[in-house]
Amino acid sequence: MKTYLPSGLPKPVPQPDGLDAPYWEGTRRGELRVQRCRACRAWQWGPEWICHACLSFDLAWEAIDGRGTIYSWERVWHPVHPALEDAGPYLVVLVELPHAGGIRMIGNLLGDPHQTVTIGAPVDAVFESHEDHALVQWRLT
C-alpha cells in the first residue's frame, strides 16, 4: 500500500488515559472528530478533560466537516525522525476549521512538496489508512 509518509515512523496510538481514543476511532472510519462542550457548545482541539471556555467537564466528541483553510504552513527540510531522512522536504499546514468554531489542526499537505502554499487556501481532510490506524492529511481543493 502506497502512503504519503515513509514506513518506520512510530505508530500513533491513543494516550494511555484514553482521552483521544474517539479521535483515532473516527479516523479509522474516515471521520474527523473533535471535542465539543455539552454545557457551552464550544469546540476545542486538542483533547482535554475540561472545556477551555467554561471549565465544564461535560465534553463530547463530534464528527465535523473535514473542510478548512490554511492558517499557516512550513516547508520542513530537516528530518525530525530517522525514518524521514530521505523524505524531505515536506509541507506541514495549520488548518483552521470554520465548521468547528475556527479551531486549528496540524497535518501534512499532500502533493508536490515544492508547490506554492497560500494562506487562506481551501483544503480537505484526507485519511491515510494504515493497518491499524489512519492519519489525517490535507489536500488543496
Single pTM value for the model: 0.89
Do residues 79 and 87 make contact, with C-beta atoms less than 8 angstroms apart? yes
Q: Which of 96, 94, 117 is nearest to 106 (CA)?
A: 94
Give the residue extent of every domain in the chain.
21-140
pLDDT (average), residues 15-29: 91
Is the predicted pLDDT of residue 6 greater than 80, yes or no?
no
> DSSP label at 61?
E
| Residue 72 half-sphere exposure toward CB, CA atoms < 13 A | 6
CB atoms within 10 A of CB 73: 17
Percent of the chain scored above 70 by pLDDT? 96
Q: What is the mean pLDDT of the segment spanning 112-123?
A: 97
Average pLDDT, integer, range 91-112: 96
